[in-house]
Amino acid sequence: MPEVSVIIPNFNGMAYLDGVLSGLECQTVKDFEVILVDNGSRDGSCAFVAASYPWVHLIELPENFGFCRAVNEGIKASRSPYVLLLNNDIEVTDNFIEEMTAAISQHTNAFSCAARMIQFHDRDKLDDAGNYYCALGWAYARGKGKDIRTYEKEEKIFASCAGAAIYRRKIFDKIGYFDEEHFAYLEDMDVGYRARINGYENWYAPKAMVYHVGSGTSGSRYNQFKIRYSSRNNIYLIYKNMPLVQIILNLPFLIVGFGIKILFFTLKGFGREYIAGIKNGFQISRRDRKVVFHFKNLPHYLRIQLELWVNMFRRLKG
Protein backbone atom coordinates (compact mmCIF):
# COMPACT_ATOMS: atom_id res chain seq x y z
CA MET A 1 0.00 0.00 0.00
CA PRO A 2 1.49 3.39 -0.99
CA GLU A 3 1.75 6.09 1.68
CA VAL A 4 0.36 8.85 -0.53
CA SER A 5 -2.16 8.95 -3.39
CA VAL A 6 -1.66 11.94 -5.70
CA ILE A 7 -4.95 12.92 -7.35
CA ILE A 8 -5.02 15.18 -10.41
CA PRO A 9 -8.37 16.34 -11.83
CA ASN A 10 -8.21 17.20 -15.53
CA PHE A 11 -10.43 18.79 -18.15
CA ASN A 12 -8.89 19.51 -21.56
CA GLY A 13 -5.54 20.16 -19.89
CA MET A 14 -3.19 18.22 -22.15
CA ALA A 15 -0.97 21.30 -22.54
CA TYR A 16 -0.07 21.04 -18.84
CA LEU A 17 -0.03 17.31 -18.15
CA ASP A 18 3.54 16.61 -19.22
CA GLY A 19 4.75 19.29 -16.82
CA VAL A 20 2.99 17.95 -13.74
CA LEU A 21 3.52 14.24 -14.45
CA SER A 22 7.19 14.53 -15.37
CA GLY A 23 7.78 16.36 -12.08
CA LEU A 24 6.10 13.57 -10.15
CA GLU A 25 8.23 11.03 -11.97
CA CYS A 26 11.36 12.70 -10.55
CA GLN A 27 10.33 12.78 -6.89
CA THR A 28 12.90 11.92 -4.21
CA VAL A 29 10.44 9.39 -2.75
CA LYS A 30 8.74 6.62 -4.72
CA ASP A 31 6.13 5.32 -2.27
CA PHE A 32 3.12 6.96 -3.90
CA GLU A 33 0.51 6.36 -6.56
CA VAL A 34 -0.88 8.85 -9.08
CA ILE A 35 -4.56 8.92 -10.01
CA LEU A 36 -5.62 11.20 -12.84
CA VAL A 37 -9.37 11.75 -13.06
CA ASP A 38 -10.43 13.08 -16.44
CA ASN A 39 -13.68 15.03 -16.75
CA GLY A 40 -14.63 14.03 -20.28
CA SER A 41 -11.77 15.83 -22.07
CA ARG A 42 -11.89 16.10 -25.84
CA ASP A 43 -8.28 17.21 -26.39
CA GLY A 44 -6.59 13.80 -26.28
CA SER A 45 -5.57 14.05 -22.62
CA CYS A 46 -6.39 10.43 -21.81
CA ALA A 47 -4.63 8.99 -24.84
CA PHE A 48 -1.55 11.07 -24.03
CA VAL A 49 -1.40 9.93 -20.41
CA ALA A 50 -2.00 6.27 -21.30
CA ALA A 51 0.82 6.33 -23.90
CA SER A 52 3.37 8.52 -22.12
CA TYR A 53 2.74 7.74 -18.44
CA PRO A 54 1.35 4.18 -18.23
CA TRP A 55 2.07 4.06 -14.47
CA VAL A 56 -0.68 6.63 -13.87
CA HIS A 57 -4.04 5.19 -12.79
CA LEU A 58 -6.45 6.83 -15.21
CA ILE A 59 -10.14 7.29 -14.36
CA GLU A 60 -12.21 8.52 -17.31
CA LEU A 61 -15.52 10.22 -16.55
CA PRO A 62 -17.99 10.52 -19.47
CA GLU A 63 -18.48 14.29 -19.12
CA ASN A 64 -17.35 17.33 -17.15
CA PHE A 65 -18.79 16.80 -13.67
CA GLY A 66 -16.59 19.51 -12.15
CA PHE A 67 -13.61 19.62 -9.83
CA CYS A 68 -15.44 18.23 -6.78
CA ARG A 69 -16.80 15.10 -8.42
CA ALA A 70 -13.42 14.41 -10.04
CA VAL A 71 -11.40 14.61 -6.83
CA ASN A 72 -14.03 12.64 -4.91
CA GLU A 73 -13.74 9.83 -7.46
CA GLY A 74 -9.98 9.93 -6.99
CA ILE A 75 -10.17 9.91 -3.19
CA LYS A 76 -12.54 6.94 -3.20
CA ALA A 77 -10.24 5.04 -5.57
CA SER A 78 -7.13 5.79 -3.49
CA ARG A 79 -5.36 3.19 -1.34
CA SER A 80 -3.35 5.45 0.96
CA PRO A 81 -3.77 7.15 4.35
CA TYR A 82 -2.95 10.48 2.71
CA VAL A 83 -4.39 11.99 -0.47
CA LEU A 84 -2.52 14.81 -2.20
CA LEU A 85 -4.53 16.95 -4.60
CA LEU A 86 -2.80 18.72 -7.47
CA ASN A 87 -4.16 20.97 -10.20
CA ASN A 88 -3.08 19.95 -13.67
CA ASP A 89 -1.31 23.30 -14.23
CA ILE A 90 1.21 22.69 -11.44
CA GLU A 91 4.93 22.03 -11.61
CA VAL A 92 6.30 20.37 -8.48
CA THR A 93 9.76 20.58 -6.93
CA ASP A 94 11.81 17.39 -6.53
CA ASN A 95 11.16 16.92 -2.80
CA PHE A 96 7.53 18.06 -2.88
CA ILE A 97 5.81 14.82 -1.83
CA GLU A 98 8.43 14.16 0.85
CA GLU A 99 7.89 17.60 2.40
CA MET A 100 4.10 17.38 2.22
CA THR A 101 4.05 13.96 3.86
CA ALA A 102 6.46 15.10 6.58
CA ALA A 103 4.30 18.14 7.34
CA ILE A 104 1.01 16.30 7.81
CA SER A 105 2.68 13.44 9.70
CA GLN A 106 4.11 15.95 12.18
CA HIS A 107 0.70 17.50 12.98
CA THR A 108 -1.43 14.66 14.28
CA ASN A 109 -4.63 16.77 14.45
CA ALA A 110 -4.23 18.17 10.95
CA PHE A 111 -6.87 17.56 8.32
CA SER A 112 -4.75 19.19 5.62
CA CYS A 113 -1.46 20.90 4.81
CA ALA A 114 -1.10 23.46 2.03
CA ALA A 115 1.97 23.89 -0.15
CA ARG A 116 3.75 27.16 -0.82
CA MET A 117 2.40 28.01 -4.28
CA ILE A 118 4.60 30.23 -6.45
CA GLN A 119 3.57 31.97 -9.66
CA PHE A 120 4.75 29.93 -12.63
CA HIS A 121 5.54 32.90 -14.86
CA ASP A 122 7.03 35.11 -12.12
CA ARG A 123 8.94 32.83 -9.77
CA ASP A 124 9.87 35.57 -7.35
CA LYS A 125 6.22 36.01 -6.34
CA LEU A 126 3.82 33.95 -4.28
CA ASP A 127 0.55 32.64 -5.64
CA ASP A 128 -0.87 31.23 -2.40
CA ALA A 129 0.45 30.82 1.15
CA GLY A 130 -2.72 29.49 2.72
CA ASN A 131 -6.39 30.27 2.17
CA TYR A 132 -8.28 32.58 4.51
CA TYR A 133 -11.87 33.68 5.07
CA CYS A 134 -13.15 36.79 6.84
CA ALA A 135 -16.34 38.29 8.26
CA LEU A 136 -16.87 40.32 5.07
CA GLY A 137 -17.52 37.07 3.22
CA TRP A 138 -14.23 37.30 1.37
CA ALA A 139 -12.10 34.26 0.64
CA TYR A 140 -8.55 35.08 -0.33
CA ALA A 141 -5.14 33.58 -0.96
CA ARG A 142 -2.65 34.93 1.56
CA GLY A 143 0.47 36.46 0.07
CA LYS A 144 -0.69 36.52 -3.55
CA GLY A 145 1.74 38.68 -5.55
CA LYS A 146 4.18 39.14 -2.67
CA ASP A 147 7.83 38.12 -2.52
CA ILE A 148 8.26 34.35 -2.18
CA ARG A 149 10.19 34.85 1.06
CA THR A 150 7.27 36.66 2.73
CA TYR A 151 5.78 33.56 4.37
CA GLU A 152 8.47 31.04 5.26
CA LYS A 153 7.12 29.95 8.65
CA GLU A 154 5.04 26.81 9.15
CA GLU A 155 1.76 27.83 10.82
CA LYS A 156 -1.94 27.15 11.14
CA ILE A 157 -4.14 28.55 8.38
CA PHE A 158 -7.89 28.77 7.88
CA ALA A 159 -8.00 26.29 4.98
CA SER A 160 -5.78 24.77 2.30
CA CYS A 161 -5.93 25.52 -1.41
CA ALA A 162 -6.80 22.18 -3.04
CA GLY A 163 -4.60 23.10 -6.00
CA ALA A 164 -1.68 21.69 -3.99
CA ALA A 165 -2.67 20.21 -0.63
CA ILE A 166 -2.43 16.95 1.28
CA TYR A 167 -5.32 15.54 3.36
CA ARG A 168 -5.86 12.75 5.89
CA ARG A 169 -8.14 10.41 4.03
CA LYS A 170 -9.95 9.00 7.09
CA ILE A 171 -11.23 12.44 8.11
CA PHE A 172 -13.25 12.70 4.89
CA ASP A 173 -15.29 9.74 6.15
CA LYS A 174 -16.23 11.79 9.24
CA ILE A 175 -16.85 15.29 7.82
CA GLY A 176 -17.85 14.39 4.27
CA TYR A 177 -16.10 14.68 0.93
CA PHE A 178 -15.88 17.71 -1.34
CA ASP A 179 -19.40 19.05 -1.82
CA GLU A 180 -20.29 18.39 -5.46
CA GLU A 181 -22.91 21.15 -5.35
CA HIS A 182 -19.96 23.56 -5.58
CA PHE A 183 -18.85 22.07 -8.93
CA ALA A 184 -15.76 24.30 -8.74
CA TYR A 185 -14.51 27.24 -6.61
CA LEU A 186 -14.56 27.54 -2.81
CA GLU A 187 -15.00 23.79 -2.43
CA ASP A 188 -11.62 23.67 -0.66
CA MET A 189 -12.67 26.48 1.68
CA ASP A 190 -15.89 24.59 2.44
CA VAL A 191 -14.21 21.29 3.30
CA GLY A 192 -11.52 23.08 5.32
CA TYR A 193 -14.22 25.03 7.18
CA ARG A 194 -16.08 21.81 7.98
CA ALA A 195 -12.88 20.29 9.33
CA ARG A 196 -12.38 23.33 11.57
CA ILE A 197 -15.93 23.03 12.91
CA ASN A 198 -15.09 19.46 13.91
CA GLY A 199 -11.92 20.52 15.71
CA TYR A 200 -9.29 19.65 13.10
CA GLU A 201 -6.48 21.91 11.91
CA ASN A 202 -5.16 23.10 8.56
CA TRP A 203 -1.48 23.95 8.22
CA TYR A 204 0.79 25.83 5.82
CA ALA A 205 3.89 23.84 4.79
CA PRO A 206 6.32 26.33 3.20
CA LYS A 207 9.07 23.76 2.49
CA ALA A 208 6.76 22.04 0.01
CA MET A 209 6.87 24.27 -3.06
CA VAL A 210 5.07 24.20 -6.40
CA TYR A 211 4.82 26.53 -9.39
CA HIS A 212 1.26 27.34 -10.45
CA VAL A 213 0.21 28.64 -13.86
CA GLY A 214 -3.24 29.65 -12.59
CA SER A 215 -6.66 29.41 -14.28
CA GLY A 216 -5.36 26.54 -16.41
CA THR A 217 -8.90 25.18 -16.86
CA SER A 218 -11.10 28.29 -16.65
CA GLY A 219 -8.75 30.27 -18.91
CA SER A 220 -8.46 33.63 -17.11
CA ARG A 221 -8.55 35.26 -13.69
CA TYR A 222 -11.84 37.03 -14.41
CA ASN A 223 -14.48 35.36 -16.57
CA GLN A 224 -18.24 34.87 -16.43
CA PHE A 225 -18.11 31.24 -15.30
CA LYS A 226 -15.60 31.83 -12.53
CA ILE A 227 -17.25 34.97 -11.16
CA ARG A 228 -20.76 33.53 -11.18
CA TYR A 229 -19.74 30.27 -9.49
CA SER A 230 -17.57 32.06 -6.94
CA SER A 231 -20.38 34.36 -5.75
CA ARG A 232 -22.90 31.49 -5.88
CA ASN A 233 -20.71 29.20 -3.83
CA ASN A 234 -19.83 31.93 -1.36
CA ILE A 235 -23.48 32.38 -0.39
CA TYR A 236 -23.81 28.60 -0.11
CA LEU A 237 -20.63 28.38 1.98
CA ILE A 238 -21.96 30.90 4.52
CA TYR A 239 -25.40 29.31 4.73
CA LYS A 240 -24.01 25.80 5.04
CA ASN A 241 -21.29 26.33 7.65
CA MET A 242 -22.58 29.15 9.85
CA PRO A 243 -25.38 28.58 12.38
CA LEU A 244 -28.21 31.14 12.10
CA VAL A 245 -26.95 33.11 15.12
CA GLN A 246 -23.51 33.43 13.53
CA ILE A 247 -25.00 34.60 10.23
CA ILE A 248 -26.99 37.29 12.06
CA LEU A 249 -23.88 38.32 13.99
CA ASN A 250 -21.89 38.75 10.78
CA LEU A 251 -24.72 40.12 8.63
CA PRO A 252 -23.66 43.82 8.73
CA PHE A 253 -20.14 42.86 7.66
CA LEU A 254 -21.43 40.49 4.98
CA ILE A 255 -23.69 43.18 3.49
CA VAL A 256 -20.74 45.56 3.26
CA GLY A 257 -18.45 42.88 1.87
CA PHE A 258 -20.81 41.72 -0.85
CA GLY A 259 -21.65 45.34 -1.68
CA ILE A 260 -17.98 46.12 -2.25
CA LYS A 261 -17.64 43.03 -4.45
CA ILE A 262 -20.69 44.01 -6.51
CA LEU A 263 -19.17 47.44 -7.13
CA PHE A 264 -15.77 45.93 -7.95
CA PHE A 265 -17.12 43.46 -10.51
CA THR A 266 -19.49 46.04 -11.98
CA LEU A 267 -16.46 48.20 -12.75
CA LYS A 268 -14.81 45.13 -14.30
CA GLY A 269 -17.88 44.57 -16.48
CA PHE A 270 -19.09 41.48 -14.60
CA GLY A 271 -21.65 42.97 -12.21
CA ARG A 272 -24.59 41.03 -13.65
CA GLU A 273 -22.74 37.73 -13.41
CA TYR A 274 -21.79 38.36 -9.78
CA ILE A 275 -25.36 39.28 -8.78
CA ALA A 276 -26.76 36.30 -10.71
CA GLY A 277 -24.39 34.08 -8.77
CA ILE A 278 -25.65 35.51 -5.46
CA LYS A 279 -29.25 34.76 -6.46
CA ASN A 280 -28.31 31.23 -7.47
CA GLY A 281 -26.50 30.81 -4.15
CA PHE A 282 -29.71 31.51 -2.24
CA GLN A 283 -31.56 29.04 -4.45
CA ILE A 284 -29.19 26.13 -3.83
CA SER A 285 -29.11 26.94 -0.10
CA ARG A 286 -32.77 25.89 0.09
CA ARG A 287 -31.72 22.27 -0.43
CA ASP A 288 -30.94 21.97 3.29
CA ARG A 289 -27.39 20.65 3.31
CA LYS A 290 -26.49 22.73 6.33
CA VAL A 291 -23.85 21.43 8.73
CA VAL A 292 -25.67 20.20 11.83
CA PHE A 293 -24.81 22.24 14.91
CA HIS A 294 -23.54 20.27 17.91
CA PHE A 295 -22.85 21.94 21.26
CA LYS A 296 -19.61 19.98 21.59
CA ASN A 297 -18.31 22.02 18.64
CA LEU A 298 -19.19 25.39 20.22
CA PRO A 299 -15.55 26.16 21.19
CA HIS A 300 -14.55 25.57 17.56
CA TYR A 301 -17.29 27.91 16.30
CA LEU A 302 -16.14 30.61 18.72
CA ARG A 303 -12.52 30.21 17.62
CA ILE A 304 -13.54 30.42 13.97
CA GLN A 305 -15.62 33.55 14.61
CA LEU A 306 -12.69 35.27 16.27
CA GLU A 307 -10.53 34.43 13.27
CA LEU A 308 -13.16 35.81 10.90
CA TRP A 309 -13.00 39.17 12.66
CA VAL A 310 -9.19 39.18 12.90
CA ASN A 311 -8.87 38.22 9.23
CA MET A 312 -11.25 41.02 8.28
CA PHE A 313 -9.06 43.70 9.88
CA ARG A 314 -5.91 42.16 8.42
CA ARG A 315 -7.45 42.09 4.97
CA LEU A 316 -8.63 45.68 5.16
CA LYS A 317 -5.13 46.75 6.25
CA GLY A 318 -3.74 44.98 3.18
Looking at residue 40, the DSSP 8-state letter turns out to be S
pLDDT recorded at residue 216: 52
Q: Where in the chain is the domain with CATH 3.90.550.10?
A: 4-212
pLDDT recorded at residue 167: 98
pLDDT recorded at residue 286: 87
CB of 103 closer than 8 Å to CB of 38: no
pLDDT recorded at residue 155: 97
pLDDT recorded at residue 214: 84
Amino acid code (one letter) for 147:
D
Handedness of CA 12, 167, 175, 239 (dihedral sign): negative
pLDDT recorded at residue 218: 52
Q: Dump pLDDT digits (tens) for 35-60.
A: 999 999 999 999 999 999 999 999 99
pLDDT recorded at residue 168: 98
pLDDT recorded at residue 219: 53
Residues 6+ apart with CB under 8 A from 165: 84, 85, 112, 113, 114, 115, 188
Give the CATH number of domain 4-212.
3.90.550.10
Q: Running along the chain, 318 residues long, what does each successive block of 10 average in pLDDT?
A: 95 96 94 97 97 97 95 96 97 97 97 98 96 97 95 97 97 96 94 98 98 71 88 97 98 98 95 96 90 97 98 91
The residue among 206, 205, 189 whose CA lies nearest residue 304 is 189
Rounded Cα distance between 58 and 43, Å, is 15
